[in-house]
Structures are given as structure tokens and as C-alpha cells.
Structure 1
Amino acid sequence: MLSLGVVLSTFVVALVTIFITHWVRKWRNPKCENGVLPPGSMGLPLIGETTQLLIPSRSLELHPFISKRVQRYGPVFRTNIAGKPVVLTTDPKFNHYILTEEGKSIELWYLDTFTSMLPIYAVGNVQKYIRNTTLSRFGVEGIRVNLLSQIEQVIQTTLRHWSTNQIVDVKHDAASMIFDFTLKQLISYDWEESSEKPLSKRFSSLLHGLLCLPLDIPGTTFHQTVKDRKEMLRIMRDAIVERMNSPNKIQTDFLDTVMERLENSEVCDSRFPIQLYGWNFICQL
């Protein structure tokens, strides 16, 4: 005859097994209250598919994490990143819809590291104003009329510099080139005339830290990301203070345009989402 202890132990093990099985099944098959989720995989419990996404790739194409899932599930699929269930899309029309409806029929939501590194203050009328100003300056017509000759000059200078190097990381260096050029158009910042670390390198470090664990401990990627963010904000704030102290000095750049209407804190924090979107867009070309 089985003892009471053995019976209780068996009962507890059975309960734990049922609970874990139910939890894993619920993890792998999340429910959507207002619709049907696209196909996909949620990966391992707690960490999802984060480790697969963080595997570095030097390919000029889509990251293997995305391309493999597009082939398997289609242009829209579900996954789990950093413990958060998300839906990824590579469909141009759907992406355009998300960008145009953000804050309207699309609810704003970002990963914890995004909200801590990139505060989202540009909403409502401010968001609309920044978007319209950005498109008027960096849209197709604005580039053709005002920036095309400058872009050609920057490309020629960069190609001459590349010709002197034995090895060129085209994806990284091209993105850095366009980032530095864009930053010059935004706040008239020229890293070649500065003794500081180029902001393109700081921003690259910032992007690498957005999907890491948010542990602000010396030696971690997130800690370096926090330092780079503070330095970038300092440079932007210095540019704003300089403009405020010299109102008669006209730079005719993007910052001059937005400062006519936005508050200083809004200008600082709104620059990050624009640069983030531009950097990721460039890297996908």
C-alpha cells in the first residue's frame, strides 16, 4: 500500500506537469481578442526568439531571422522578442498603413528598451508637424531641389576615401555616410570638424543596445547605450542652446525650422525617432 507521502508527491508532480504543459501551450498559441494572429512561432518560453534575432549578419539583404520567416510564414508573421509577443511585417503597403495611421487606428507601443532610450513625446499635432516638415525637406522634391548636388559631392568624397582602403564594409560605411550627411542637414553638425567620437558610431551603438537586456551595469551593452544616448542628447541640446543664444544667426537647417514652433525638450526627443527610422530604412536598401 502506497504511503500518504508518495501519493501527495505524485499528486504535486502531476499538478506541476499539467500547469507547465498548459503554460507552454498558451505561450506557443497566444490569443488575440479582436482578430486572428498571423502564422509564426513564439520560440522558447520567456526569451522567445531573441537570441536568433541578435545573431549578427553582414549581408546587404534582410537579416536571416526575417528572411527565413518570410519564406516560411509570409510577409507578416508573429514572433516573440525580449519576452514580448510582436507581429513583424515586411509588406510595403501594410507598413505604409501603419506609418500613416500611427496614433489613430494604430496604437503606439514600443519595447521597454525603446521607451527608455527613445522617449516618444512627438504625438498628435507635434508628430504631424514634424512628419510634414520632414517630408517637405527630405521628400523626393526637397531632395531634388535642395540636396541632390550636396549628396553627389558627399558620395564622390566617400568613394575617393574608400579607394584608399584595402577593405570596405559597404553596408556600415554607406549608412554612416548618410547618417552624418543627414545630421548635418538637421543641426548643421559636422563631425569632421569635431574632436569627439562621430555620432554615427554612437548611434550604431545605440541601435545595437535597443534589443539587449536593459541592465544598466558597467561593462554591459545597455550601459554603453545609455552613455551614448546621453552624449547624443547633450550635443543636440548644445545646438539648441546655441541657436537660442544667437537668434540672428540663421543656419537654414531642419532645427531652425522646427524651433519656430516646438519647445526645446520636444525638439531634442523628437530627433531620435526620425533618425532611427531613417537609419533602419537605409540599412534595408
Structure 2
Amino acid sequence: MSMHYLAALSAVALGAILLLRSAFKWMNGARTGKDEGRMLPPGSRGLPLLGETLEFFAASPTLELVPFFKRRLERFGPIFRTNIVGEDLIVSLDPELNARVLQQEERGFQIWYPSSFMRVFGDDNIISALGPLHRHIRNLVLRLFGPEALRLVLLRDVQRSARDELRSWLDHPDVEMIFAVTAKKLISHDDAASGGSLWKCFDAWTKGLLSFPLCVPGTAFYKCMQGRKNVMKILKQQLDERRNTAERRTVDFFDLVIDELNKPDPIMNENIALDLLFLLLFASHETTSMGLTAILKFLTDNPKALQELTEEHEKIVETRVDPDSDITWEEYKSMRFTSHVIHESLRLANIAPVVFRQANQDVYIKGYTIPEGSKIMICPSAAHLNSKVYEDPTAFNPWRWKDTPEPVGGSKDFMAFGGGLRLCVGADFAKLQMAMFIHCLVTKYSWKPISKGTMVFYPGLRFPEGFHIQLLAKA
């Protein structure tokens, strides 16, 4: 055996040892529990490069806390460390830490999202905006979706659109109503008239939103990025056309954006404006439409809840002089059981599965130190499925809200719309849309399911086979 061969063999062996040591150090680095004398949360970084990403994105066909979080909760407790999509993260399933993170926005903590998420949402979106820019954008959105607009304009617009869309379901059942309403309000876009082109682009985008970030043709993430590219192309084209129009008559979000861009020293640029429009359309497509689908599924499986809900709306109609008149603001605010159904459905659906932040300073909590600069992932479903707060937490039970003050905004026990300074600006609009849809549905129609409608979490909610119903007009 030559000396060259022995040297090569030794080099390979040494390389293998170093590789194994690096892999062992990677996998166990988050288990040591100490950092310069400070006690860090326990955890594991998983496999080299991949971390624990594959398990995080694994499907779970139950309403229970997804296995990724459940296993680590049992092993490490409610605060632990992991590595997902190349990022070292501290995960919080702890209500006290969650509340602290959300309440100290832009002080002890600031907004942060993994680079893979930012590729999907755009670098200039409201999610990453800080300070004055974030407040300015929120105020701009509230001009169209704030309390006054809800009461004076949107209440009427939403219910009339719901009536029209439900009428069309008799021949072509499809849950696109909410997306269509918001698209018209934001950009005066009639997606039905254009063959649903914008909705189809968003559908491809949302299916890959919470998927492994591998941008290779054929993967869900690649389709997601292509969907975003196509949506942005449509929005850019429509924005250019509107800006070049000599006289603008409509008043929608495009008009507000154009007025902002035409100011001498605008706080927004075109990229921020387009990313904002993209995010608002996503919120209407994903959050509200998915929430409504979940409501239909829960009501289909719970005849008692459907019966009480129907009776509430039939009583409203019976007390009117004209049964076909528009819903008044007072009637909307009287829909107590409807509100219970909406909150219970959102609690179980967990449409926003995770929230990210970054620590601006060292945080000391429950014996652990979360070092400055740490990236934190909050899991709202852990709060929503907490058996200490919600009895039999995986059961659909809208009556549980009858003796409990419903959350006006966010709280440590209900985070369907986030919390703190980042509470979803469209939360009240989303609940209004759901209530109007429900009213028009249960007073004029009945339905029967023609598919099982299995709910699966990835960890976000999906209906892999859809949830198809046959709509029937009441006599």
C-alpha cells in the first residue's frame, strides 16, 4: 500500500470525522442550554441544513395542536428552540411570553419574518414596515375599511354582493364571493367578468405559501412565486392604466395610492403601494374566504348550531316591515350567536398559524434568557387549544362564548387577528363580511355537502380535496 494511498485514506477519514462532529454539533447545539452563563430555552436544531423544516411542514388531519408543536411542548415545555428554513428560532407556546412580545411592539420586540416569507410577501410590504411608515399605511387602509366606512358604505356593499354571488351559486357553486367584494373595493376589479384570472393567481400563491421554500419548477413554492409574479403583473398594469387616465371617477384604494404617489414628498413609493395592494387582496382571499369555508364545514357537521344560527337571522327578517330590505347597523350588531360562531370557527381554524418577531433586547422569562437579536415564532393555535382556557378545546362549541366577553381585538387567549400594534387592520371588516354572508345564506338557502371537506393543517389550514356543497333555494 503506497504512502499516497494511505495519505488519501487518512484525509477521507479525517474529513468524515470532522463532518460527523459538525453534524453532531449542529444537531445538539441548541440542547446545551447555556450561552455565556445564561440559561437558554432547550431544543434541537434538527438535521444539518434542513433543520426541522420537513417536520414543521408535515400535514396534520386533526384539529389538535399540530404534531411539530405538540411533541416539543411535551419534551421541552412551552418555550423551546428549533431551526426552520435555515433560521434559528425560539418558539413560544407560552401565553405570558406571547402577550409580552405583542404588547412591546417596536420597543422590546420588532417585526421580523424569514427571508423565504419576505420573498413571498415582497420586501416593501406592510408586514415589515416600521414606525411612521407602518402607522401611515394603517391610516390609509382605515380610510376604506375603518368603522365609519363599515357602517355607512361597506355594510350595504357587502350584503348586496353576497346576495348576487349566492344567487349565482345555484348554477355554479363557488366560494369566491369575499375575494370579489374586496377586489372591487380595492382596485375596482371585477374578477368574475375577467374569468377569475386574479383569483386563480392568488389560489396558486396561497397553496404554496406555507410550503418548503424550494423554488424549483413543479414544487408548491415555485407555483407560489409564479402566482405572486402574475398577480403583481396585473396590479402594475392596472395601476399604470389608472395613473394615465385623464379623469378618475371611481374612489377605491388605487385612487388613495395614486394621490399618495403624486404628493411632492410621498412617504410611499410604487413598490410599497403594490406590495400593500397584494397583501390586502391576500388577506381577503385567504383569511376571510378560508374562514367562511371553515364556518360552512363546522355548521354542516353541527345541525344544532346551524338551527340556532338560522333562528337568529329569521327573527331579524320577521321584525322588518320589508323582509327584503338591507340589513341595518343595529341588526348587524344584534347578531350575537353569529358572532359566537365566527369567533369559535376562527379559534379552531387557526388561519394565521404563526407570527414572527425579533428581540431588541435580552428578555428574561420563566428562568430562561432570550438573547437580544433572537428570532421568535409565536404559535396562536397553542393559545386557541389551551385546555386551561377552553374546555374540550378541539370541539366546535359556539355556546362557550355566551358567558365570555368576546375579544374586541387580540388577547393572549385569542389571536386570530394578531395583537398589539399589529392587530389586523381589517379584522372588523372580515367579521362583517362573514356575518353578511351567513345572513344571506341561512335566510334564503339551505345546502347539502357533496364532498367530505377534510381539514388539514400544514401548519396552515387547507382543504386538500375542497369542500363542495349543493346550494338549494328555500321555498
* 1:213-252 mapped onto 2 (5 Å cutoff): 213-252=212-251
The aligned counterpart of 1:189 is 189
Deviation at 1:260, TM superposition (A): 1.2
SS at match of 1:193: coil
Give how far 1:185 is off.
1.3
One-letter code of the match for 1:147? L
Q: Match of 2:70, as an amino acid?
A: K
Alpha-carbon displacement from aligned partner over 1:206-265 (angstroms, at most 9, x marks no partner): 233344454444333333223222211111112211221224222111221122113333
SS at match of 2:109: coil
From 108, 112, 116, the counterpart of 2:119: 116
Distance in 1 between the 2:221 and 2:44 partners? 27
Q: What residue is the counterpart of 2:315 in the other structure?
A: none
In the alignment, the residues of structure 1 paired with residue 100 and residue 278 of structure 2 have an alpha-carbon distance, to the nearest angstrom, of 20
Amino acid at match of 2:244: N
Listed as ranges, the matches of 1:5-84 within 5 Å are 12=14, 18-28=21-31, 42-56=45-59, 64-65=66-67, 68=70, 72=74, 78-84=81-87
SS at 2:260 equivalent: coil
Aligned to 1:204: 203
CA distance in 1: counterparts of 2:237 and 2:274, whole angstroms = 10
Measure, in 2, the Cα distance between the counterparts of 1:251 and 1:129.
22
Report if the CA contact (8 A) 1:79-1:85 is conserved: yes
Q: Secondary structure at the match of 1:86?
A: strand
Distance 1:67-1:214 versus aligned 2 partners, 3 A rule? closer
Deviation at 1:25, TM superposition (A): 1.0
The match for 1:150 is 157
**Cα distance between partner residues in 1 of 2:284 and 2:177:** 12
CA distance in 2, matches of 1:145, 1:280: 25
State how far apart, in whole Å, the 2-side matches of 1:75 and 1:280 are: 28
Instruction: Work out whether residues 69 and 77 of structure 1, in 8 Å CA contact, stay in contact via their aligned partners in 2.
Output: no
Work out the percentage of aligned pairs sharing the same amino acid.
31
Contact 2:46/2:52 (8 A) holds in 1: yes
| Paired residues of 2:180 and 2:190 also in contact (CA < 8 A) | yes
* Structure 2: runs of 5+ lacking an equivalent: 1-5, 262-268, 292-345, 347-475
TM-superposed CA distance for 1:153, in Å, is 2.7
Deviation sequence 1:116-164 (CA, Å, 0-9, x none): 2322225353332111222342234432332112222333444445566
Q: TM-score, normalised by structure 1?
A: 0.71
Contact preservation (8 Å) 1:130, 1:258: no
Give the conservation status (yes or no) of the 8 Å contact 1:240–1:264: no
The structure whose residues are more often strand, as a share, is: 2
Query: Following the alignment from structure 1 to structure 2, what is the Cα–Cα distance between the partners of residues 86 and 225?
Result: 24
Distance 1:190 1:92 in 2: 45
User: Do 1:82 and 1:211's aligned partners in 2 also have CA atoms closer than 8 Å?
Assistant: no
Q: Distance in 2 between matches of 1:127 and 1:254?
A: 17
C-alpha distance after superposition, 1:159-195 (max 9, x if no partner): 44556679x8xxxx3xx43233222211111111103
* Structure 1 residues 49 and 223, CA gap change in structure 2 (3 angstroms): same
Is the Cα contact below 8 Å between 1:202 and 1:228 reproduced in 2? yes
Taking a change above 3 Å as real, the CA distance of residues 21 and 281 of structure 1, as seen in their structure-2 partners, is same
| Distance in 2 between residues matched to 1:177 and 1:251, nearest whole Å | 21
Count of aligned positions: 271
Q: Quote the offset at 1:106 in angstroms.
A: 3.2
1:216 and 1:222 in contact (8 A); partners too = yes
For residues 92 and 109 of structure 1, what CA distance do their matches in structure 2 show? 20
- Indicate how the Cα distance of structure 1 residues 19 and 253 shifts in structure 2: closer, same or farther if over 3 A, else same: closer
Matches within 5 A, 1:161-180: 161-162=168-169, 173=175, 176-180=176-180
Counterpart in the other structure of 1:270: 276
AA of the residue aligned to 1:240: L
For the Cα contact (< 8 Å) 2:33–2:39, is it kept in 1? no
Seen in structure 2, the aligned counterparts of structure 1 residues 226 and 20 have a Cα distance that, compared at 3 Å, is closer
Q: Aligned partners of 1:134 and 1:71: how far apart in 2?
A: 38
Distance 1:157 1:210, change over 3 A: same
* Larger helix percent: 1
What secondary structure is seen at the aligned counterpart in 2 of 1:85?
strand
State the alpha-carbon separation in 2 of the partners of residues 16 and 224 from structure 1: 35
Q: What RMSD in Å do the two structures reach over aligned CA positions?
A: 4.2
Distance 1:222 1:50 in 2: 14
